[in-house]
Structure 1
């Protein structure tokens, strides 16, 4: 069909080997996701990921905002780092200790700045300085995170401070007609990036952070109008030569998701998860959140799912787990909270007081099966959304399906069900309950459970040998320039692949087989033109059906099946369909492997 505008150049996915230990298994799956070379087959999500080599898996750690709020101190941050070790969380992969806002000094005109116009640190709160704090954290085998917002401080412009290493000054780059969003001292002017010295100012700030030992930088208050700042900070962080995980916040526009993905390692998809309903100043103190702030993430996670992948993640905000019911969630709700974050492959950044962890929550946070689901490098799709009943599913690189069933209601039990066909396979699967570790045995065709309000059930379903396994085209690898479209009805999954009209346009699936055998495969396609769109079918690089006919189906909404038998080896196989004429391939919906 005619090509719509837009192109897709995301990561390539290859199968990973199965591991018996959940965390080692997740690492193997995640690290089996190398960057695709230009012009080769590419794989969702539909935008280029940041190529800074960071955040191949979602970040795990702790951030100061939820519990510490506006009163961070050197002693408090050190205490949290100490607790990260003593609790055993570090050993499970929680390695980031992130200092959020309110470490700075302010006066009536906003942030007090140093001699080069950068925010000054409040020495009363941090008497040893930020570098010493970072060194303390690094000595414990942890990573240190920091915080900034776009723009240049009013005090820098008033003083007309020089820009380090340049002949330029603050007034040369500031647009004083507009003020940036800032949650603390306010009074941040826009930077005019058309002016010489603007990039150099951001570079100088990034160099300072790198010299202090920053490993993770959150840039907050970001809106679509701040894309020039986001680009500038991306360039600046790379120029430091230090690996710095780059996170954007908050409530970012999904219309600009390809840009966030290209430039950053994570991006906040909504506003704060905190309810600001505690008894202290500005709503601080317990409770930290409520169930409504958690359930609001379900829809945003579904909407943003396609943009998550190695190198860039949809950030659902902090995990409010660790301090029991006082955070504002029941134990059932906290398990659902962690389950959604794990299924969505969101960063797992705790917001609670690590010095006061209770045993129930520590068991949740250190459950290796849950951590493995988060670290597998795959963001789940919502496949059932019926009132309080929700089901999410993802297929991991080894062929297992991880499925989460939720009752998101605040009252009343719900029986939540899913068929294996909805998850993308048929027949029988060996089921494991991932929260408890219990073996659920062989389950045929479907799975159902009655859940209390706020409760979840998380299972791993390993399809039995001989089952039909569905591989959606939108989750496959495909030629650069292809798009995942949904403008013609009747497709399975979230869309279909529309490749360029060219010889060689192709889609490639990775298919597992328990043994070497001949297996039936079915390619579902639509061809709304009058001409056939023949394709070569190859398995593991060898053409097994040259010029296979994919004839007209009459309309683009009339989907039909092409079935053939192909040779498979034991383990992972690649099955590619490749157009042999300038008309390109038909629209491709899925491949079923028998």
Structure 2
């Protein structure tokens, strides 16, 4: 009996140690933040710097009804939410700011009435959380110039604003802030103070502008990442604008969950003197970053300028997107095969059935969310093909980058498909059209006709 008890005790102790080891492993390896590319909405394309609390709530209601069932999560308020007198043009020299006694911007009470007295964005974040959504905000790197002029104290520290600011550094397109000087003792303290404030509001997503290009500010990226980590709250760090330098990939991957790879994308095929980047321009940009996306770390191809861009878009006059239906489908397809975050920019309260269909195709979204190893195996200057892997099948996106319809004939060998390690370029494979939800059947390649700026997206499985 005693020996049986000893054996039981040894077994129990072993099981207990195993359980404790598993618990410790789980504690040391928390869930990956942004394990799949973030999917959400951002106010910039529709509202610029002018959005109000009522507009955010109306957007969130539409988002929860129409997009949340398909995996969309984030609602993000973009620039100048602390400005009490915003204009459609934004970044005005006459802007009036809302700021606390520690030099931290706070929501403009006339636009976000639930933010007073002293509540900040917490009531609005609570509203979004009640819908099962996540809430994000945009900030410009640095510290308000007005805080430096008044030399305000930095919260939870012995430092003041002058102990953090680099007064020789201002964002090229926005005069609100000075940069943070990483060599000054108050620099990290200031970023710690704003991260703590945002965490207390319940922020889930922080887009930081003027930091990943024009110029690249690695020191401030590292300070912001450290500040967020100290809060203990899982906050996605999104870096803007682009193009982020690809030679900084490993640093970007270490400190952020997503980073912009290009200038702002707008609703046209090629850039013009008025608009910096079009959908067609993004092929070459994305190709440079192909295969570098991984769970928790996503090269960001920028927002989706779809639907109604108004009432006060961040660039240009209010309008319905100028992209053709074929170009809109190409936009979603390229972003998905590239595994970019999907952040829609149009007015969700006025979303038409066509736009909704683009954003809620579960087979297309699965390419963005669950495939990996994106490659560009074929590009002849007119037709470009991308592939990605799901583990059980290949995804193939074929694009016509020209201004006229094109016939396409590609074999599996052209696309460098290996069929799970066995090179069978002439084998039949089962093909499914993901946009049309149509099983095409067995084939030895793809033969199709694409309209100007059009695309097709397929799932291809080797026959058993």
Instruction: Provide TM-score, normalisation by structure 2.
Output: 0.82
Residues 376, 352 of structure 1: alpha-carbon distance in 2 compared, 3 angstrom cutoff: same
Aligned to 1:189: 178
Q: Secondary structure of the residue that 1:203 maps to in structure 2?
A: helix
Task: Tell me how far 1:234 sits from its aligned partner.
Answer: 0.4
Residues 380, 95 of structure 1: alpha-carbon distance in 2 compared, 3 angstrom cutoff: same
Aligned to 1:212: 201
CA contact (8 A) 2:64 2:132 kept: no
The partner residue of 1:343 within 337, 343, 367 is 337
Task: Tell me how far 1:105 sits from its aligned partner.
Answer: 2.6
CA contact (8 A) 2:433 2:459 kept: yes
Q: Deviation digits for residues 206-249 of structure 1, max 9, x if unmatched?
A: 01001111000000111354111100110111111111011101
Aligned to 1:392: 386
Q: In 2, distance between residues paired with 1:194 and 1:439?
A: 60
Please say if 1:353 is aligned against 2:347: yes
Task: Tell me how far 1:51 sits from its aligned partner.
Answer: 8.7
Task: Tell me how far 1:385 sits from its aligned partner.
Answer: 1.5
Q: In 2, distance between residues paired with 1:194 and 1:335?
A: 47
Task: Tell me how far 1:351 sits from its aligned partner.
Answer: 0.4
Task: Tell me how far 1:52 sits from its aligned partner.
Answer: 7.9
Aligned to 1:471: none
Task: Tell me how far 1:195 sits from its aligned partner.
Answer: 1.9
Residues 187, 82 of structure 1: alpha-carbon distance in 2 compared, 3 angstrom cutoff: closer
Q: Deviation digits for residues 77-103 of structure 1, max 9, x if unmatched?
A: 11100111232x110011110001021
The partner residue of 1:100 within 78, 85, 108 is 78
Aligned to 1:479: none
CA contact (8 A) 2:291 2:374 kept: no
Task: Tell me how far 1:258 sits from its aligned partner.
Answer: 1.7
The partner residue of 1:402 within 395, 420, 423 is 395
Residues 275, 437 of structure 1: alpha-carbon distance in 2 compared, 3 angstrom cutoff: closer
Aligned to 1:317: 302
Residues 269, 93 of structure 1: alpha-carbon distance in 2 compared, 3 angstrom cutoff: same
Map residues 563-574 of structure 1 onto 2, 5 A cutoff.
none
Q: Deviation digits for residues 282-324 of structure 1, max 9, x if unmatched?
A: x9xxxxx89x711111111100113211111111111123449
Aligned to 1:17: none
Q: Deviation digits for residues 339-385 of structure 1, max 9, x if unmatched?
A: 00110101111101111111122122111100101111415211221
Aligned to 2:87: none
Q: Secondary structure of the residue that 1:440 maps to in structure 2?
A: strand
Aligned to 2:144: 153
CA contact (8 A) 2:151 2:160 kept: yes
Task: Tell me how far 1:113 sits from its aligned partner.
Answer: 2.9
The partner residue of 1:178 within 169, 174, 177 is 169
Map residues 556-567 of structure 1 onto 2, 5 A cutoff.
none
Aligned to 2:456: 457
Q: In 2, distance between residues paired with 1:152 and 1:323?
A: 34
CA contact (8 A) 2:246 2:289 kept: yes
Aligned to 2:284: 299
Q: In 2, distance between residues paired with 1:267 and 1:105?
A: 26
CA contact (8 A) 1:323 1:361 kept: no
Q: In 2, distance between residues paired with 1:420 and 1:175?
A: 56
Residues 116, 455 of structure 1: alpha-carbon distance in 2 compared, 3 angstrom cutoff: same
Task: Tell me how far 1:181 sits from its aligned partner.
Answer: 4.1
Map residues 529-568 of structure 1 onto 2, 5 A cutoff.
none
Q: In 2, distance between residues paired with 1:109 and 1:62?
A: 26
Task: Tell me how far 1:122 sits from its aligned partner.
Answer: 1.3
Aligned to 1:74: 53
Q: In 2, distance between residues paired with 1:181 and 1:116?
A: 25
Number of equivalent positions: 400
Larger displacement relative to structure 2 (55-64 or 321-330): 321-330
CA contact (8 A) 1:111 1:187 kept: no
Please say if 1:274 is aligned against 2:273: no
Map residues 28-39 of structure 1 onto 2, 5 A cutoff.
none
Uncovered stretches (5+) of structure 1, i.e. residues with no partner: 1-34, 36-49, 278-282, 284-288, 466-594
Task: Tell me how far 1:459 sits from its aligned partner.
Answer: 0.6
Task: Tell me how far 1:416 sits from its aligned partner.
Answer: 2.2
Residues 112, 182 of structure 1: alpha-carbon distance in 2 compared, 3 angstrom cutoff: farther
Q: In 1, distance between residues paired with 2:161 and 2:49?
A: 28
Q: In 2, distance between residues paired with 1:159 and 1:217?
A: 26
Q: Deviation digits for residues 397-444 of structure 1, max 9, x if unmatched?
A: 22x11001111223x111123221223232121000010111111102
CA contact (8 A) 1:261 1:307 kept: no
Please say if 1:121 is aligned against 2:107: yes
CA contact (8 A) 2:291 2:372 kept: no
Instruction: Provide TM-score, normalisation by structure 1.
Output: 0.64
CA contact (8 A) 1:163 1:170 kept: yes
CA contact (8 A) 1:305 1:314 kept: no
- Cα RMSD over matched residues? 2.4
Kindly report structure 1 stretches of 4+ aligned residues shifted beyond 6 Å: none
Instruction: Indicate the structure with greater helix content.
Output: 2
Q: Deviation digits for residues 20-40 of structure 1, max 9, x if unmatched?
A: xxxxxxxxxxxxxxx9xxxxx
Q: Secondary structure of the residue that 2:224 maps to in structure 1?
A: helix
Aligned to 1:485: none
Task: Tell me how far 1:187 sits from its aligned partner.
Answer: 3.7
The partner residue of 1:261 within 246, 249, 253 is 253
Aligned to 2:429: 429
Q: In 2, distance between residues paired with 1:377 and 1:211?
A: 35
Uncovered stretches (5+) of structure 2, i.e. residues with no partner: 1-24, 85-92, 116-120, 310-318, 419-424
